[in-house]
């Protein structure tokens, strides 16, 4: 096996090594079929089992109630930006919170199908914070309320679930499976798999039965959630390999102790990294306000400016840490630490930060 780095890419991102090894071991002969998982029929009993087991694992790990369906859809989380309004907006008004690039893209798509009320925004302060519940300006008869629980680019995260009367919809692409939450508060949750669930190419949708049925039936069949819910994600050929990898990832999460264990790891990593930033504040400046800090994507700048940031990233790469460059829209450094990143990986990175600090403060 080649050398593996400590990978801080924001998504696609690091996956647990044991699942990559398992996939490699059974890649040419899946479950005694004499075929790769890429070659078997999505209608075969072996693949049906992959879908069923993936659903069962997600239900168990996230505590999804029985009146919800779990769907595996193609097209990435961005596809959900228009699925949602096509199904539910229908010329009405929906409330959206604008907390960054992904929220903005969701808002743009929704405007094609009705009116968007921006219930709150943090745009004027380069998305440094998450608006508080008290600051949400809600529409009385909103068709739904949409928010992005974690802002992958700016490194901010909700640490509360908004309380609203309208059906609650959340883009949980970059923090699902890292914290415990009550699924029953939501009408619909969607998440691109490529951070905490698996490789890119499949999006998980978790939606309440009555909400699925409330969607429009005047839109193309493929865009109706009811189609995929009814057919157990097998209305058409789904992203088979990606669902299989998701299953392996969820088996790993379960073996590691489930959602509670992921939550504890998440907290441990965040404490280590934000602790280091705060301790060496004369060199490292966090982008997010403290109460809005993301536990998944830690964004910071160096007080010496762009040249120093470039040097930091170059030295980090040399030391075996990949993917630490900030998104082009914010610059600086971004450390993405999803579930496959261990507290030990972060300890090593903090040691690197300390060394850099001692030489450059
Ligand atoms: N929402 C969030 C929060 C994201 O981080 C991303 C991608 N990083 C997306 C949506 C878009 O996902 P995709 O590229 O799968 O369309």
Supply the CATH number for residue 27's domain.
Answer: 3.40.640.10
Which residue segment(s) compose the domain that 169 sits in? 17-256
Specify whether 230 is located in the same domain as 263.
no
C-alpha 240 to ligand 1 mean position (Å):
20
Specify whether 198 is located in the same domain as 143.
yes
Which protein residue's CA is at the shortest distance from atom 4 of ligand 1? Answer: 173
Which ligand 1 atom lies nearest to the CA of residue 148? 3
Specify whether 244 is located in the same domain as 121.
yes
Q: Which of 143, 195, 247, 325 is catalytic?
A: 195
* Residue of 10, 13, 75, 78 to mutate, ligand 1, most atoms within 8 A of C-beta: 78
Whether residue 6 is contained in a domain is answered as: no
Dig out the tokens for 302 from the structure. 């160096």
Q: Is the peptide bond before 25 cis (omega within 30 degrees of 0)?
A: no
Helix (H/G/I), strand (E/B), else coil: 265: helix
Average confidence score pLDDT of the chain: 97
Specify whether 163 is located in the same domain as 96.
yes
Specify whether 212 is located in the same domain as 339.
no
Residues with CB under 6 A from ligand 1: 11, 76-78, 102, 148, 152, 171, 173-174, 192
Q: Which of 69, 143, 171, 175 is catalytic?
A: 171
Q: What is the pTM of this model?
A: 0.98
Q: Which of 102, 143, 269, 325 is catalytic?
A: 102
**What's 137's DSSP letter?**
-
Which protein residue's CA is at the shortest distance from atom 15 of ligand 1? Answer: 76
pLDDT the model gives residue 330: 87
Do 6 and 322 touch, CB atoms closer than 8 A? yes
Whether residue 12 is contained in a domain is answered as: no
| Sequence-ordered strand ranges (E) for 177-226 | 188-192, 203-208
The question of whether 195 is a catalytic residue gets the answer yes
Specify whether 224 is located in the same domain as 281.
no
Whether residue 82 is contained in a domain is answered as: yes
Q: Over pLDDT 90: what percentage of the chain?
A: 98
Which ligand 1 atom lies nearest to the CA of residue 200? 15
Task: Give Cα separations from 121 to 136, 249, 323 (angstroms).
Answer: 9, 34, 28
Specify whether 37 is located in the same domain as 70.
yes
Specify whether 126 is located in the same domain as 212.
yes
Confidence of residue 1 (pLDDT cuts 50, 70, 90): low
Which of residues 219, 234, 256 is at a domain's end? 256
- Kindly state the average pLDDT of the residues 228-239: 97
Whether residue 10 is contained in a domain is answered as: no
Which of residues 202, 231, 256 is at a domain's end? 256
The full length of the chain comes to 361
Q: 249 - beta bridge partners?
A: none
pLDDT surpasses 90 at 361: no
Which protein residue's CA is at the shortest distance from atom 5 of ligand 1? Answer: 152
pLDDT the model gives residue 269: 98
| Sequence-ordered strand ranges (E) for 197-295 | 203-208, 284-286
Specify whether 135 is located in the same domain as 58.
yes
The question of whether 291 is a catalytic residue gets the answer no
Task: Please enumerate in sequence order all residues whose Cβ is within 8 A of that of 344, keeping only pairs 6 or more positions apart, or say none.
Answer: none
Specify whether 171 is located in the same domain as 306.
no
Whether residue 58 is contained in a domain is answered as: yes
Specify whether 251 is located in the same domain as 272.
no
Distance CA 14, CA 39 (A): 25
pLDDT in tens, 42-57: 999 999 999 999 999 9
* Cα 252 from chain centroid (whole Å): 17
Task: Give Cα separations from 123 to 12, 148, 287 (angstroms).
Answer: 26, 14, 13
Specify whether 187 is located in the same domain as 168.
yes
Whether residue 151 is contained in a domain is answered as: yes
Whether residue 2 is contained in a domain is answered as: no
CATH number at residue 295: 3.90.1150.10
Helix (H/G/I), strand (E/B), else coil: 58: helix
Whether residue 200 is contained in a domain is answered as: yes
Which protein residue's CA is at the shortest distance from atom 3 of ligand 1? Answer: 173
How many domains does the chain contain in total? Answer: 2
C-alpha 47 to ligand 1 mean position (Å):
26
Which of residues 206, 228, 256 is at a domain's end? 256
Confidence of residue 107 (pLDDT cuts 50, 70, 90): very high
Q: Are strands 93-98 and 145-148 parallel, antiparallel or unpaired?
A: parallel
- Block residue for tokens 């890119």: 200
**What's 325's DSSP letter?**
B
pLDDT the model gives residue 2: 77
Which ligand 1 atom lies nearest to the CA of residue 150? 3
Do 127 and 102 touch, CB atoms closer than 8 A? no
Dig out the tokens for 7 from the structure. 């990978």
pLDDT in tens, 110-127: 999 999 999 999 999 999
């Amino acid at each position: 096996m080649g050398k593996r780095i400590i990978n801080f890419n924001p998504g696609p991102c690091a996956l647990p090594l044991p699942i990559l090894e398992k996939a490699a071991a059974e890649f040419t002969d899946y479950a005694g079929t004499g075929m790769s998982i890429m070659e078997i029929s999505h209608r075969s009993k072996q693949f049906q089992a992959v879908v069923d087991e993936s659903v069962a694992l997600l239900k168990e790990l996230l505590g999804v109630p029985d009146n919800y369906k779990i769907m595996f859809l193609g097209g990435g989380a961005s596809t959900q930006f228009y699925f949602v309004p096509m199904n539910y907006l229908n010329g009405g008004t929906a409330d959206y919170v604008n907390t960054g690039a992904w929220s903005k893209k969701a808002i743009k798509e929704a405007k094609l199908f009705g009116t968007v009320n921006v219930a709150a925004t943090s745009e004027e302060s380069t998305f440094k914070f998450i608006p508080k519940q008290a600051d949400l300006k809600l529409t009385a008869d909103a068709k739904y309320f949409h928010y992005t629980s974690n802002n992958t680019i700016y490194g901010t995260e909700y640490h509360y679930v908004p309380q609203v009367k309208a059906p609650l919809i959340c883009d949980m692409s970059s923090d699902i499976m890292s914290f415990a939450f009550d699924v029953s508060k939501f009408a619909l949750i969607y998440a691109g798999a490529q951070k905490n669930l698996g490789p890119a190419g499949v999006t998980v949708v978790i939606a309440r039965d009555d909400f699925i049925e409330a969607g429009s039936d005047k839109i193309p069949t493929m865009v109706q959630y009811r189609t995929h819910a009814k057919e157990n994600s097998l209305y058409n050929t789904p992203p088979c390999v990606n669902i299989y990898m998701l299953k392996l990832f969820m088996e790993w999460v379960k073996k590691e102790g489930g959602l509670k264990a992921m939550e504890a790891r998440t907290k441990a990593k965040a404490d280590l990294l934000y602790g280091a930033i705060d301790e060496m504040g004369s060199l490292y400046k966090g982008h997010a306000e403290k109460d809005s800090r993301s536990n998944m994507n830690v964004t910071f700048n160096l007080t010496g400016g762009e040249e120093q940031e470039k040097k930091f990233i170059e030295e980090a790469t040399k030391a075996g840490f990949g993917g630490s460059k900030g998104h082009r829209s914010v610059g600086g450094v971004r450390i993405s630490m999803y579930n496959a990143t261990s507290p030990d990986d972060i300890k090593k990175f903090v040691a690197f930060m300390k060394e850099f600090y001692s030489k450059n403060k």
